[in-house]
Chain A
Amino acid sequence: MKLFFSITLGILVIWSLIMGLTGLPASPDGRVKLVWVSDDNPARRAQVDLFNQQNTRACVTLDPESSGKEKVVVQCLSGVGPDLLDIFDGFELTAFVKAGIALDITKELEQRGISIEHDTWNGTHTTALLDGRAYGFPRGACADALLFNKTLLDQKGLKPPGPFIKGDEFLKLAQALTIRDDHGRIRQFGFMFEWWQYGDFLRQWHAQIYSDDGTRCLLDSPEAIAAIQYMYDLIWKYHVMPTPAEASALPSGGGYGSGKINMFGNGQAAMALAGRWWLVVLRNKDNFPELKFGVSECQFGPVRQYRAYCAVTAINRFSRHPDKALDFLLYMASPEYNNLINRQADSMGPIKKYSKSGIFLNATNYPDEAYNSVWIETMERGIPDEVSPFVNGAAANRIITRQLDLVANNLKSPQEAMQTAAQLINEEIIKTVASDPKLRKFYNERIGR
């Protein structure tokens, strides 16, 4: 027994040492295996496959199980992180940079003549660049537009909107497309959005979350209040949007955002504020055989601007193969990758010029999609989320979400909610600045103290 125990222990120790020293085994053809923490879906797999076919030095494996900022940070700092990771907003970028995880690739991109500022969409910049340095490369970019169900419009005898509509026309359509049953319950909603899309509405009312210098939260401004009031009115005044209770009562599928996509695809909502990435699901005729839809640029508020957003892929500074991981980021700047993204409709390719080419505008595989110029227009007018260096983005987001929850449930007026949000975020700014001498100095410089 003792002999068995000792041998087992010995084998385990030796095995652990070997695994620890060698890391991931190379692929059978001798290429280095890189791990990319990203969501696993058919589109992503095709993107990885194309790289693996092209590159002779490395091959990429997806690790969807480790996705989530908290897991990635802890894994990276403890030395067992992936080679490549995704960043979804400016706050996450700041967190990954400040934690010393995201590798600075400014010089490498410069050497290859790639400029994030000039070559990629404006909406990607705050997620890829920090203080003028590049810490990743966008894997796609998006700005939301109005999706409408052509069949439901036909049934109501309504003409589909053109490539650009304004708030009044939108509201008439939304009201006409909201249908109730005999009990007065809404059977079909005219419109729907997710509350985390509030940034779209803020942009269109010329509101900002933070002042330009980032020292103050401006959610209590009349513009921000008006934007949130409009969102509230769509539910509680015009009744074209489901309340949170109604939304939770509707059947929904699994996966990120797929509940709302299914609602639109199944005709439970006639219009939706959505990104181009919805098309990956909506194109599937097995799921939605009857669905025919179009896309319009919709200006709800007084300003023709949209919220642009993206996902950026960065290299883990502790990766054993940063040079090979860089190959993958450079692949994202290639025409092959960009054309693939544009074909797949997994948002839009990060490099602007490829999206403006004839390949994208005249998509032959999907002749119904004659609206690709709308996506370009919204991207051109897209503005990324603001980031304040003086507040923890996750804390600010939590405060805003909480207030929006109360507004959505009709438990607090938009004005009160935004005033509370601004007050709490400003308190958070003061607390953050007070706890960090370096940041305090920077803050004082900005406010001219």
Chain B
Amino acid sequence: MKNSRRKHRDIWAGLAFIAPNFLGFMLFLLVPVIFSLVMSFSNWNLMKEVSFQWVGFRNFFDLFHDREFWLYSINTVYLMLGIPVCIALSLFLANLLSKQLRGIVVYRTLFYLPTFTAGVALFVLWKSLYNPEYGPINAAIRWLLERAGTAHVELPSWLSSAKNLLGLHPEQIMIGVREFFGLGAREAIIIMGIWVAAGGTNMLLYIAAISNIPPDLYEAAEIDGAGSWAQFRHITWPQLAPTTFFIVIMGFIGGLQGGFEQARVLTAGGPAGTTTTLSYYIYIKAFEEFQMGYASAIAWVLFAVIFAITLVNWTFGSRKIN
């Protein structure tokens, strides 16, 4: 009897402790999420003069005929091209930083620094680095070109250029357009993203995973005469598969949701909309044009895409890993 009363009291205490967090979750996450789903079927636009109406699937139908939606989807996917490079670099760094070296903690901290530096500060720094005339990046390219005897080649204008490596047209869904070939704002954002993320959480996850690989495997391989590359290929890489799988999924999710801060601070979505991603488009529609219903619809389509990709990844990826 006494035990049961005590158990009851403990349950109440436990509930009380999680209540603030749970209330916060309900109030600021679950309820708004459900609300946005409901609103995606309405014409809600913050303008009280426009009468509220349920519009069924019209927002979703309009979305699929919205050229901007498709262009910004392409931008979003394009900016994700940096993810594989980023993962490879994280793995490379994790490998190096897993060695038993003096001062390894200092190295790890140095590489992790960009992750906990304020985003806006980083963007301002990179804006200076990308200065076409005085920035160190173009200075380095200029130096290299001069050494190669090709100094006449036009240097990239980075953040003010609509050019890109695939020759994507900024207004039409076209690839390989000659005048748009080159390095521009999109590449600038990709490179910056790689620099920030290579030494970030992915690297830490890899370091943790590498430290969990049984050393006997390496010892046995060494006895069998396996070199560094063979050890990496046949031991490290397969052992890291679950971690890589997790990082890839999180990279996809982050990539599809990303690009907002960079667009807001560095380029305002330009030039000519080339750095506007889906998350920035949601912001434009909701908070600049006040089309809350339409913005909600974009958000839910984005969610569906992320969910589908994750599901596919999960189904096929986990089968391979197992």
Contact = CB atoms under 8 A, between A and B. Distances in A.
B160 A247 contact: yes
A98 B289 CA distance: 12
A70 B50 CA distance: 18
A409 B287 contact: no
A2 interface: yes
B8 to A, nearest CB: 14
Contacts of A74: 287
Q: How large is the interface on A (under 10, 10 to 19, 20 to 34, 35 or more residues)?
A: 35 or more
B288 interface: yes
Contact of A95 (B47, B133, B179): B47
A438 B49 contact: yes
For the residues of A in contact with B, the DSSP-based class is helix
A158 interface: no
Interface in B117-131: 131
B288 A70 contact: yes
A99 B46 contact: yes
Contacts of B218: none
A401 B270 contact: yes
Interface in B281-297: 284, 286-291
A95 B157 contact: no
Contact of B133 (A249, A403, A420, A431): A249
Contacts of B46: 73, 77, 95, 99
B272 A244 contact: no
B49 A406 contact: no
Given A244-B157, A251-B134, A405 B287 contact: no
A246 B158 CA distance: 11
What size tier do the contact residues of chain B reach? 35 or more
Nearest to B293: A435
A405 B272 contact: yes
A439 B20 CA distance: 45
A409 B272 contact: yes
Nearest to A249: B133
A378 B43 CA distance: 42
B51 interface: yes
Greatest chain B CB density within 10 A among A2, A249, A438 is at A249
Contact of A435 (B17, B43, B135): B43
Contacts of A431: 62
Contact of A398 (B132, B157, B179, B284): B284
Contacts of B286: 70
B146 interface: no
A81 to B, nearest CB: 13
B51 A409 contact: no
Contacts of B51: 437-438
Interface string A64-107: 00000110011001000000000000000001001110000000
Contact of A244 (B49, B50, B271): B271
A42 B179 CA distance: 46
B54 to A, nearest CB: 13
Interface string A165-209: 000000000000000000001000000000000000000000000
A77 B290 CA distance: 12
Contacts of A248: 131-132, 157-160
B270 A402 contact: yes
B184 to A, nearest CB: 10
A116 B159 CA distance: 43
Contact of A409 (B62, B271, B273): B271
B159 A405 contact: no
B251 interface: no
A370 interface: no
B49 to A, nearest CB: 5
Interface in B151-188: 157-162, 170-171, 179-180
Residue of A248, A394, A401 contacting most chain B CB atoms (<10 Å): A248
B291 to A, nearest CB: 8
B270 A405 contact: yes
Contacts of A249: 131-135
Contacts of A437: 51
Contacts of B289: 392, 394-395
Contacts of A185: 133
Contacts of A251: 131, 134
Contacts of B311: none
A5 interface: yes
Given A402-B273, A409-B271, A99 B288 contact: no
A98 B162 contact: no
B15 to A, nearest CB: 12
Contacts of A392: 289-291
B290 to A, nearest CB: 6
B157 A69 contact: no
B312 interface: no
A392 B47 CA distance: 11
A99 B289 CA distance: 12
A99 B157 contact: no
B48 interface: yes
Contacts of A394: 284, 288-289
Interface string B45-84: 0111111000000000010000000000000000000000
A245 B157 contact: yes
B50 A409 contact: no
B13 interface: yes
A414 to B, nearest CB: 14
Interface in B172-224: 179-180
Given A245-B160, A394-B289, A406-B162, A436 B50 contact: yes
A5 B16 contact: yes
Nearest to B62: A431
A100 B161 contact: no
A15 to B, nearest CB: 14
Interface in B265-322: 270-273, 284, 286-291
A420 B13 CA distance: 64
A46 interface: no
A63 to B, nearest CB: 18
Interface string B253-275: 00000000000000000111100
A232 B287 CA distance: 32
Contacts of A95: 46-47, 290
8 contacts: A2-B13, A6-B16, A95-B290, A99-B48, A246-B133, A250-B133, A406-B170, A438-B51
Interface of A: 2, 5-6, 9, 69-70, 73-74, 77, 95, 98-100, 185, 244-251, 392, 394-395, 398, 401-403, 405-406, 409, 411, 420, 431, 435-439
Name the 10 nearest CB pairs between A and B, nearest first: A249-B133, A70-B287, A245-B157, A98-B47, A405-B272, A244-B160, A394-B288, A249-B132, A100-B48, A248-B160
Given A99-B48, A249-B134, A403-B272, 4 more contacts: A250-B133, A402-B270, A402-B272, A435-B43
